[in-house]
Amino acid sequence: MKIELRRFWVELIPLNPLIHLQAVIILAVIAILSLRFRFLDPKGAAASIIIGYIIIVFGGIGYFAILLTFFLISSAVTMLRVRIVGELSIEKDWIRGWRNVIANGLAPTLTILISRLLSCSDRIMAAGYLGAVGTAFADTLATEIGLFYRGKPRLIMGFEKVEKGTPGAISAYGYLGGLLALLILATFSWFIGITSPQLVLMLIPIGLVGTTIDSILGAGIQGKYRCQGCGKLLENPHHCGQPAEHVSGARWINTHIVNLMSTSLGAMLLATLAALL
């Protein structure tokens, strides 16, 4: 792996105006459709335009298509879950806000920028990117599919049965959801030529490891609260229309921070593995 620090950002920005025009048109259409179908709120749409622009300009349209696939499938599954299983304390609705967009999109974006800045090979960049998106996608589908499970999930540490929606709760349904996400991601990225069969073989276990790290961080350090009204253990400091009592974990570490940590770790793990093998 040849590493040489680029001295100027400017030389990395494509000069071809068509690339920028293409990015603006694609992102505008997606933002309008996302608002129309209530997949994103206005601030979420603004965040997705910034992230999408950086990925298209520095990574290329293929990398953006991977993130878009993750976003569309996750949004569709969340919408189905809200309609079939109902709402949970986790989110008001299926609409995603800017925090969610940044929590899932920042690590993939940084992977591309850092890879370009350090002149990493396309293989290392693809590995880091897929490690981050794989962790985010597997974690999202694990959470959503896990909510279809009728029984109670178990806590990753200690294995006691807990209420659905508890940070760090896991179930077999959840892991099947995560596996499904990784199979979709591996197939799609291979189809568009971003990944190799070798990278696919590493992506699936690393994505599941990333999701597990997310659950461990959720159970261990994420802030947890108990509702004064209904007594449920929550990840939000508000429930039943009143502030909830802080039980454990750090207040500043919410589900989005945990997501950011686990996707960054997923990127580092798969990029390191790709560099070693």
Residues that bind Zn ion (CB under 5 A): 227, 229-230, 239-240
Q: How far, in Å, CA of 81 to CA of 227, rounded? A: 23
Instruction: Decide: helix, strand or coil at residue 253.
Output: coil
Exposure of 208 in the CB half-sphere (CA atoms within 13 A): 14
Query: Using alpha carbons only, what angle is made at residue 13 by residues 12 and 18, rounded to the nearest 5 degrees?
Result: 140
Instruction: In whole angstroms, give the CA distance from residue 70 to residue 13.
Output: 26
Tokens, residue 86: 């109902």
Query: Could you tell me the smallest distance in angstroms from the CB atom of residue 240 to Zn ion?
Result: 3
Report residue 176 as tokens. Answer: 């099947």
DSSP-based three-state secondary structure for 35? helix
Query: Shortest Cβ distance from residue 235 to Zn ion (Å)?
Result: 13
Residue type, 50: I
Q: How far is the CB of 245 from Zn ion (least distance, A)?
A: 11
By beta-carbon proximity to Zn ion, the closer residue of 14 and 229 is 229
Residue closer to Zn ion, measured from CB, 122 or 245: 245
Where does residue 139 rank: exposed (0-12), middle (13-18), buried (19+ CB within 10 A)? Answer: buried
CB of 145 to Zn ion, least distance (A): 25
Give me the least distance between CB of 232 and Zn ion, in Å please.
5
Question: How far, in Å, CA of 108 to CA of 259, rounded?
Answer: 12
Q: Output the smallest distance, CB 227 to Zn ion, in A.
A: 3
Tokens of 148: 């279809």
Alpha carbons 166 and 186: distance in angstroms, whole number: 29
Q: Which is nearer to Zn ion, 116 or 226 (CB)?
A: 226
Q: 10 Å Cβ neighbour count for 266?
A: 31
Of 217 and 227, nearer to Zn ion (C-beta) is 227
> Which lies closer to Zn ion via its Cβ, residue 80 or residue 230?
230
Decide whether 142 or 234 has the Cβ nearer to Zn ion: 234
For Zn ion, the closer CB: 6 or 152: 152
User: What is the nearest approach in angstroms of Zn ion to the Cβ of residue 229?
Assistant: 4
- 126 with 275: CB under 8 angstroms? no
